[in-house]
Amino acid sequence: MEDKAQIQEAIKVQGEVVRKLKSEKASKEQIDEEVAKLLELKARLGGGDDGKHQFVLKTPKETLTGKYGEDSKLIYDLKDQGGELLSLRYDLTVPFARYLAMNKITNIKRYHIAKVYRRDNPAMTRGRYREFYQCDFDIAGQYDAMIPDAECLKIVHEILSELELGDFRIKVNDRRILDGMFAVCGVPDDKFRTICSTVDKLDKLPWQEVRKEMVDEKGLSEEAADQIGEYVSLHGGMDLAERLLQDPRMSQSKQACAGLSDIKLLFSYMQLFQVTDKVVFDLSLARGLDYYTGVIYEAVLTQAGVAPVALASNDAQNGSEESVSVGSVAGGGRYDGLVGMFDPKNRKVPCVGVSIGIERIFSIMEQRAEAAAEKVRTTEVQVLVASAQKNLLEERLRLVTELWNAGIKAEVMYKKNPKLLSQLQLCEEMGIPLVAILGEQELKDGVVKLRVVVSREEVDVPRSDLITEIKRRTSDA
């Protein structure tokens, strides 16, 4: 049996090799080969006396490698005291797939809001950060084609409509259509993923620059690049899928035909969900992550004032940061093979999901409100209990208690004798809509002066009717 210390030293050395390759931005194939050697060493270290290699899932090591394609350069790599490779969470999808595999879950529907980390160039006004929140919704399980996929698109449509961010489009495509397109256009098999990553840049670069990268940097023939250019300029709906099924080249690919048939089915379900007004079948949509296997989609804002520039994790830093230029706010797709990558027996669990960029949406909402000079409410408080004179703290506390007991969101200033002007200014700053003002005369008359902060309208309300009046006014709002 090998000496444990020798294997640990070999693991440390091999870990350095992998880190060096990543820092030098070596090819994915080179990195994967060296990572495989590292995993082999770890298996030998953890193997039993019978020499068999045991597949043991541990937190959090070696989970992210080989899942993100060219976006892997944005992963925050770390190193623990033993020299083992670690990384900060890049997204919520890979950890979710790993969780399903570890717990042998084959059927689940869930949402998850949490922080993720990208080694990116931050641009605050574009909603691009190195540490930010995402909200994911996923459906895992064996279901009939396109039903859960259509529901994910319905959810994106509902969220963006309810938030009133302006006009938007949800672009859809399918990885099988892309791979079939690459095949019939003459792209070599080993260049599919790297060409896919280049096509993914079409949302922020003109076709000529994308073509130049394909030919000059990726080594693709000019003829193949031009054929790809003909297809990626196409967009439409179910009618486009039907046309492509009859296309002389695309119809030669079984993979592309399977994807096109599913796109047709997807559009038929989306018609029933009443969301086709915002959905477009766009052959330029690629999404560079390696784990997608079927339908992919991306939601892009298109209204004036928000440039339709998709800001994926690997976006270039273009233009000024002075205007609202956050385009892509959600994206996702089907990843049927990801769970199997973490399962010792490669048991697959079909999955589809969507990720909502919370910070990007907040960026848009905040800047739109600022541009329109709108006051953004920072609290859910409905009414502030205020006093017009000194020595009325006890009366304010009695009244706020009555309101709390009635389920009204109320507050008082934490001062014994605050000035009335200070209390009114607090309401304006925090967006509190109502002020219940107590004074000596109001107490004597058995009323409360209710003030509407925005209009400055004031009305005396009998103490016995105050709760009803506040509820009426806040329900109308």
> What is the pLDDT, as a whole number, of residue 316?
32
Residue 84 lies in a domain: no
Q: Which of 27-41, 69-83, 134-148, 436-450 has the lowest mean pLDDT?
A: 69-83
> What is the pLDDT, as a whole number, of residue 366?
80
Q: Are residues 247 and 387 in the same domain?
A: no
* Percent of the chain scoring above 70 in pLDDT: 83
Output the CA torsion sign for 177, 181, 187, 188: positive
Tokens for 298, please give them.
Answer: 């991306």
> What is the pLDDT, as a whole number, of residue 79?
60
Q: Are residues 357 and 405 in the same domain?
A: no
The 10s digit of each residue's pLDDT in 386-402 is 999 999 999 999 999 99
Output the CA torsion sign for 62, 65, 71, 73: positive
Q: Which of 122-126, 160-164, 173-177 has the lowest mean pLDDT?
A: 122-126
> What is the pLDDT, as a whole number, of residue 76?
57
**Degrees to nearest 5, angle at CA 64 with 58 and 67:** 135
Residue 51 lies in a domain: no
Domain boundaries, position 219: 69-74+89-371
Question: Which of the listed residues 371, 399, 434 is the one where a domain comes to its end?
Answer: 371
The answer to whether 149 touches 336, Cβ cutoff 8 Å, is: no
Q: Which of 46-60, 101-115, 413-427 has the lowest mean pLDDT?
A: 46-60
Q: Are residues 245 and 334 in the same domain?
A: yes
Q: Which of 12-26, 128-142, 330-344 has the lowest mean pLDDT?
A: 12-26
Identify the CATH number of the domain in which residue 410 sits.
3.40.50.800
Question: Which of the listed residues 324, 350, 371 is the one where a domain comes to its end?
Answer: 371
Task: Report d(CA 449, CA 462) in Å as an integer.
Answer: 9
> What is the pLDDT, as a whole number, of residue 75?
64
Q: Are residues 428 and 452 in the same domain?
A: yes
Question: Which of the listed residues 371, 391, 415 is the one where a domain comes to its end?
Answer: 371
Q: Name the average pLDDT for the chain.
A: 84
Strand 447-452's sheet: what is its strand order?
410-411, 383-387, 434-438, 447-452, 458-462
Q: Are residues 363 and 433 in the same domain?
A: no
Give the confidence band of 48 by pLDDT, cuts at 50, 70, 90: very low
| Higher-confidence position of 148 and 71 | 148
Q: Are residues 466 and 436 in the same domain?
A: yes
The 10s digit of each residue's pLDDT in 174-189 is 999 999 999 999 999 8
Tokens for 419, please give them.
Answer: 């000035």
| Cα end-to-end distance, the chain, whole Å | 75
Residue 98 lies in a domain: yes
Max mean pLDDT among 47-56, 260-269, 372-381 falls in 260-269
The answer to whether 183 touches 191, Cβ cutoff 8 Å, is: no
Q: Are residues 430 and 410 in the same domain?
A: yes
Average pLDDT over residues 113-131: 74
Q: Are residues 204 and 257 in the same domain?
A: yes
Q: Are residues 298 and 393 in the same domain?
A: no
Q: How many domains does the chain have?
A: 2
Q: Are residues 151 and 276 in the same domain?
A: yes
pTM above threshold 0.95: no
| Higher-confidence position of 12 and 142 | 142
Residue 158 lies in a domain: yes
Task: Report d(CA 418, CA 438) in Å as an integer.
Answer: 12
The 10s digit of each residue's pLDDT in 76-96 is 566 655 556 677 788 899 899
Q: Are residues 158 and 251 in the same domain?
A: yes
The 10s digit of each residue's pLDDT in 301-357 is 886 444 443 333 333 333 333 334 456 899 999 999 999 988 888 899 999 999 998
The answer to whether 17 touches 41, Cβ cutoff 8 Å, is: no
Of the candidates 361, 358, 376, 394, which has an alpha carbon nearest to the alpha carbon of residue 431?
376
* Percent of the chain scoring above 90 in pLDDT: 56
Identify the CATH number of the domain in which residue 183 sits.
3.30.930.10
Task: Report d(CA 243, CA 28) in Å as an integer.
Answer: 36
Residue 130 lies in a domain: yes
Residue 140 lies in a domain: yes
Measured in whole angstroms, the distance separating CA 192 from the mean position of its chain's CA atoms is: 25
> What is the pLDDT, as a whole number, of residue 325?
41
Q: Are residues 359 and 243 in the same domain?
A: yes
The 10s digit of each residue's pLDDT in 208-226 is 999 999 999 999 999 999 9
Phi and psi, residue 451, nearest 5°: -115, 130
Residue 432 lies in a domain: yes
- Kindly report the three-state secondary structure assignment for every residue of the chain: CCCHHHHHHHHHHHHHHHHHHHHCCCCHHHHHHHHHHHHHHHHHHHCCCCCCCCCCCCCCCCCCCCCCHHHHHHCCEEECCCCCEEECCCCCHHHHHHHHHHCCCCCEEEEEEEEEECCCCCEHHHCECCEEEEEEEEEECCCCCCHHHHHHHHHHHHHHHHCCCCCEEEEEEEHHHHHHHHHHCCCCHHHHHHHHHHHHHHHCCCHHHHHHHHHHHCCCCHHHHHHHHHHHCCEECHHHHHHHHCCCCHHHCHHHHHHHHHHHHHHHHHHHHCCHHHEEEECCCCCCCCCCCCEEEEEEECCCCCCCCCCCCCCCCCCCCCCCCCCEEEEEEECCCCHHHHCCCCCCCCEEEEEEEHHHHHHHHHHHHHHCCCCCCCCCCCEEEEECCCCCHHHHHHHHHHHHHCCCCEECCCCCCCCHHHHHHHHHHHCCCEEEEECHHHHHHCEEEEEECCCCCEEEEEHHHHHHHHHHHHHHC
Residue 50 lies in a domain: no
Max mean pLDDT among 125-129, 156-160, 190-194, 204-208 falls in 156-160
Average pLDDT over residues 163-184: 92
